[in-house]
């Protein structure tokens, strides 16, 4: 975004709806805000229609607050619960189809590089576990194999939530869900390890139960994608509606899972990414 692009035309200040005036006066573009600043500025995400206690909504809010350069970030989403929130996000974002997000992002990133060779444009994919690990897995992996400089973020609620709670490749073995009436017969896919093998320069698993960690990995992933190559972040984001737990207990459920050894945060950093991160993180 050119500096000063988001300026209300003279004489239109009073008629512009308040949510936009706030975005201009107190938005995150061009500022170096992080999650510590939440509550003190106008966030990118307006009111959204996701369920109360939705883990994915929490992850999305924290992710958007952690973008290193929102003014030059374009997001590619996919069909699923998060797509219902994206019309409310004050960033250019694309919903194309279910599962093709990494292919769309590959074309988008290369095209933006052509049009703005001198400028960084961060392309971030944010999609569900079904979109990422099942129907779109080939395109996700192929974008990594091709070393596309994009960040892939999975909002992992361990089910196809938007279509009513069906089993996905990310559901735990034994989970009883729609289309798995007698329990899932095979284990949760280890996508972080696959991402690592496929050449992602930076891979992390985190959750909104530890917001600071989530913010750190999202930021690292985007910065590494910009400089080095593909990155992957998996965010465990439980769904109270389909897993039928109390919406107030989303965060405690994550913590319990961690205690039980059924969820763990992870980070794989390539040597090149490590050197790069050290160079910028020391500077700061």
Partner 1 sequence: MRESSYKVLPGPEGYLPPAAATMGVMLPDPGQAIMEGESVDRDTALRAAALKLIEARNPVFFPGPLILWDWKPGVAEKATALKELAEAVGAKMIPMPDYRPKYPMINPAIEVNPNHPNLTIWHNKIDVCLFIGVHCHYANLALKIIRGGTDCYTIAVCAEAGHEEAMISLRDAGLCELQRLRELVIELKGGKNQ
Partner 2 sequence: MIDQKIVDPDYLLFEAPRTSEYITGSEAVREAIKRANVDMAIAYPITPQSESMHLVGDIYAQGYVKEYFRGENEFAVMSSVAGASMAGVRVFTATGGPGTMRAFEVFPTWAGARLPIVCAFMTRGINSPLTIQPDTIEMAYLLETGILMLHAENSQDLHDMLLMAFMVAEKTDVHIPVGVFADGFFVTHTRDKVNMLPEDCKLPSYDPYTSPVPVMDMENVPVRQMRDPFVMKSNFISYAAHASWQQEIDAAAERSRKYLNHYLGGLIDVEHEDADIFIVTSGTAVSQSREAIATAREEGINVGLVKIKSIRPFPGEEIRALASRSKGIIVPEFNRVGWLAKEICSVIDEPRKVVRGPRVFGGMTMPPELILAEIRRINQ
Ligand X SMILES: Cc1ncc(C[n+]2csc(CCOP(=O)(O)OP(=O)(O)O)c2C)c(N)n1
- By CB under 6 A, name the binding residues for ligand SF4: 50-51, 54, 56-57, 81, 157, 161-162, 239-242
- Which one of residues 70, 77, 128, 230 is an interface residue with ligand X (CB under 6 A)? 128
- Which one of residues 88, 100, 142, 265 is an interface residue with partner 1 (CB under 8 A)? 88
Q: How far is the CB of 189 from partner 2 (least distance, A)?
A: 19
The answer to whether residue 142 forms part of the interface with partner 2 (CB under 8 A) is yes
The answer to whether residue 139 forms part of the interface with partner 2 (CB under 8 A) is yes
Task: Go through the chain and tell me how many residues it has.
Answer: 284
Query: Quick one: 117 or 181, whose CB is closer to partner 2?
Result: 117
Distances, alpha carbon 239 to alpha carbons 24, 43, 50, 127, in Å: 34, 23, 10, 14
Q: How far apart are CA 99 and CA 81, in angstroms?
A: 13
The answer to whether residue 11 forms part of the interface with partner 1 (CB under 8 A) is yes
Q: How far apart are CA 284 and CA 269, in angstroms?
A: 19
Which of 177, 92, 91, 67 minimizes the C-alpha distance to 129?
177
| Choices 116-124, 154-162, 189-197, 206-214 (CB under 6 A): range interacting with ligand X | 154-162
Gyration radius from the chain CA atoms: 19
Q: How far is the CB of 38 from partner 1 (least distance, A)?
A: 23
Distances, alpha carbon 260 to alpha carbons 64, 181, 197, in Å: 29, 25, 27
The answer to whether residue 166 forms part of the interface with partner 2 (CB under 8 A) is no
Structure tokens of 254?
Answer: 């994550």
Residues of span 183-202 touching partner 2 by CB under 8 A: none
What DSSP element (H or E) covers 25? Answer: helix 18-26
Q: How far apart are CA 89 and CA 198, in angstroms?
A: 31
Query: Quick one: 74 or 179, whose CB is closer to ligand X?
Result: 179
- Which one of residues 56, 67, 81, 91 is an interface residue with partner 2 (CB under 8 A)? 91
Query: Quick one: 16 or 137, whose CB is closer to Mg ion?
Result: 137
């Amino acid at each position: 975004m050119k500096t000063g692009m988001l300026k209300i035309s003279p004489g239109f200040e009073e008629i512009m709806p308040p949510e936009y005036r706030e975005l201009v006066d107190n938005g995150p573009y061009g500022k170096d805000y992080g999650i510590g600043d939440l509550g003190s500025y106008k966030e990118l995400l307006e009111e959204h229609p996701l369920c109360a206690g939705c883990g994915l909504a929490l992850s999305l809010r924290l992710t958007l607050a952690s973008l290193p350069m929102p003014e030059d970030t374009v997001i590619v989403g996919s069909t699923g619960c998060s797509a219902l929130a994206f019309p409310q996000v004050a960033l250019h974002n694309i919903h194309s189809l279910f599962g093709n997000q990494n292919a769309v992002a590959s074309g988008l990133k290369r095209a933006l590089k052509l049009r703005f060779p001198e400028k960084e444009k961060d392309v971030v994919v944010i999609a569900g576990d079904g979109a990422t690990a099942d129907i779109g897995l080939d395109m996700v992996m192929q974008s990594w194999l091709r070393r596309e400089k994009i960040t892939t973020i999975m909002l992992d609620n361990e089910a196809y939530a938007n279509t009513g709670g069906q089993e996905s490749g990310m559901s735990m073995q034994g989970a009883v869900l729609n289309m798995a009436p007698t329990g899932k017969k095979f284990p949760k896919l280890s996508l972080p390890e696959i991402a690592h093998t496929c050449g992602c320069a930076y891979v992390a698993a985190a959750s909104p139960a530890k917001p600071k960690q989530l913010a750190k990995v999202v930021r690292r992933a985007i910065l590494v994608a910009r400089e080095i190559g593909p990155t992957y972040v998996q965010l465990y984001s439980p769904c109270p509606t389909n897993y039928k737990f109390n919406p107030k207990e989303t965060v405690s459920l994550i913590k319990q899972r961690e205690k039980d050894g059924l969820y763990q945060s992870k980070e794989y950093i390539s040597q090149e990414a490590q050197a790069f991160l050290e160079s910028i993180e020391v500077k700061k």
